[in-house]
Amino acid sequence: MSVAEDRGPLTAARAAQEPGVRQILDRVREHLQMDIAFLSGLTRSAEVVLATSTETGPMQMAVGDELDLDDTYCVRVLSGLLPPVIPDARRHPEARDLDVTHEMGIGAYAGAPLRGPDGKPVGMLCCLGQGANPLLGEDALRVLGLAAALVEDHLGVPGLPHRPAVSDRVRRVRTVLEREEIRTVFQRVEHLGSGTVVAVEALSRFDPRWFPTPVHAFAAAQAAGCAVDLEVLAARRALRHAVRLPADVRLSVNLSADALLDPRTEPLLLAGGGGVGVELTEHTPVHDYGRLVAVTDRLRDAGVQVVVDDAGAGYASLRHVLRLRPTAIKLDLDLVRGIDADPVRQALARAVVDFAGSVGAWLVAEGIETPAERDALLDLGVHFGQGYLLGRPGAWEDALGDGPFHRDA
């Protein structure tokens, strides 16, 4: 995930003027029994501390501090290199070796992103403790997610001046579930050499006044405690189209590990017949890899493709790749963006190409926007792709047509 752009919608001035923000930070700090809670904004070169809890304990941190992006936990969490909750940093296999763990004396960490209108992270709400904190678990993640949504509401987000309050969005999610207010759009995946469509990915759309992107809807569902219900509903709506699939074209749906483990999901996917695929990302942490592998093994045996989504976005997705023996791997769009002009992205893609070849998985690049990106990917040995250049998410007929289409979702 790219955090290198200057998104700048969170400023210290606005955060400091908002007493409500400090109250939220104080409550979160107390509730999670940590030494400090703070709000940070991401700029092109740094993570800037915008507000802190009134109490900061022994942690040396103040408003205006700039943390080097390469050194922070937050950036690692956003890119999937660290989990969002670390009860014992000195024993965590990645966290314990980081300089910042020793320099700041971090014993425990928890963080949740603040998102802008496009769903991309613009800052973080984090807590730090000097000692280990065994209380930190999934609950902490839910509390922080809700607190981050409340801070978003307090600060407002440019482009969405009348964004509904978080409590309204949580209520709205329940209405979406009751009335099944989900629209499914489809994006073609094609063989880059010939332009032949090989698959369509189903993506969910909601009333944009409430949920401008699906990421917002699933985040609200998480806060409402019904994320899996929403995912299962989205998959069920999408899979109704499986009967319309032409031969040799797959229909893939997105599911988190939690949703894939839900008892309703497997029969749903199996009923879709051999033309179905499931795209897995680690939006929620995986607690039971044994069960997950058992499900993906059964699905694969029944002809359902297992796709690891967002590879290259971080450590979590690579763990999937190793354990789940996927039929296909999707290169994350941040790795694809500008790949024609960026030797680092090319080297990373080359490594994934080698890896995919060695585990016998197809490789699909997502987010291809320019002919130069497509050509660079072909040169690197990536033969399948998806992106606005080839077709935007849209109607079923358009996704399956001869393209290219540039229809808005």
Cα distances (angstroms) measured from residue 25 to each of 15, 29, 55, 111, 259: 11, 6, 10, 12, 31
Give the residue ranges of DSSP H helices in 54-137: 73-78, 99-104
Q: Which is nearer to ligand C2E, 296 or 386 (CB)?
A: 386
279 binds ligand C2E (CB under 6 A): yes
Give the interface segment with ligand C2E, choosing from 25-33, 65-73, 240-248, 366-374 (CB under 6 A). 366-374
> Which residue is associated with the tokens 């807590």?
127
Is-contact 28 127, C-beta < 8 A?
yes
**What is the rounded CA–CA span in Å between residue 204 and residue 215?**
10
369 binds ligand C2E (CB under 6 A): yes
Select from 40, 72, 256, 327 the one that contacts ligand C2E (CB under 6 A): 256
Is-contact 26 125, C-beta < 8 A?
no
**What is the rounded CA–CA span in Å between residue 115 and residue 120?**
5
Give the interface segment with ligand C2E, choosing from 63-71, 170-178, 265-273, 367-375 (CB under 6 A). 367-375
In 3-state terms, what secondary structure has residue 264?
A: coil
213 binds ligand C2E (CB under 6 A): yes
Cα distances (angstroms) measured from residue 172 to each of 1, 181, 233, 239, 257: 28, 10, 15, 24, 24
Give the residue ranges of DSSP H helices in 18-121: 19-32, 73-78, 99-104
Select from 275, 277, 387, 394 the one that contacts ligand C2E (CB under 6 A): 387
Interface contacts to Mg ion, rule CB under 5 A: 254, 279, 309-310
Which listed option, ligand C2E, Mg ion, none, makes contact with residue 203 (CB within 5 to 8 Å by class)? ligand C2E
**What is the rounded CA–CA span in Å between residue 139 and residue 142?**
5
Q: Which is nearer to ligand C2E, 24 or 257 (CB)?
A: 257
Q: Which is nearer to ligand C2E, 133 or 265 (CB)?
A: 265
**Least CB distance from residue 131 to Mg ion, whole Å?**
37
365 binds ligand C2E (CB under 6 A): no
Select from 36, 221, 276, 333 the one that contacts ligand C2E (CB under 6 A): 333
Q: Which is nearer to Mg ion, 29 or 188 (CB)?
A: 188
Characterize the bridge pairing of strands 183-191 and 305-311: unpaired
Residue 119 corresponds to which tokens in the numbers above? 């769903």
**Least CB distance from residue 291 to ligand C2E, whole Å?**
18
Is-contact 9 116, C-beta < 8 A?
yes
Q: Which is nearer to ligand C2E, 43 or 187 (CB)?
A: 187
Which listed option, ligand C2E, Mg ion, none, makes contact with residue 305 (CB within 5 to 8 Å by class)? none
**280-319 mask for ligand C2E (x: CB under 6 A)?**
-x---------------------------xx---------
Q: Which is nearer to ligand C2E, 53 or 265 (CB)?
A: 265
**What is the rounded CA–CA span in Å between residue 206 and residue 190?**
26
- Of 84-113, binders to ligand C2E (CB under 6 A) are none
Q: Which is nearer to ligand C2E, 72 or 187 (CB)?
A: 187
> Which residue is associated with the tokens 């009860």?
87
**What is the rounded CA–CA span in Å between residue 314 and residue 138?**
20
Select from 36, 203, 278, 353 the one that contacts ligand C2E (CB under 6 A): 203
Which listed option, Mg ion, ligand C2E, none, makes contact with residue 153 (CB within 5 to 8 Å by class)? none
Q: Which residues contact residue 241 at a Cβ distance below 8 angstroms, ignoring those fewer than 6 apart?
A: 184, 186, 202, 251, 396
Give the interface segment with ligand C2E, choosing from 34-42, 100-108, 147-155, 207-215 (CB under 6 A). 207-215
In 3-state terms, what secondary structure has residue 232?
A: helix
Characterize the bridge pairing of strands 276-281 and 328-331: unpaired
234 binds ligand C2E (CB under 6 A): yes
Looking at residue 224, the DSSP 8-state letter turns out to be T
Kindly list the residues in this chain that would bind ligand C2E in the complex (CB under 6 A).
Answer: 187, 203-204, 213-215, 218, 231, 234, 254-256, 279, 281, 309-310, 333, 366-369, 386-388, 393
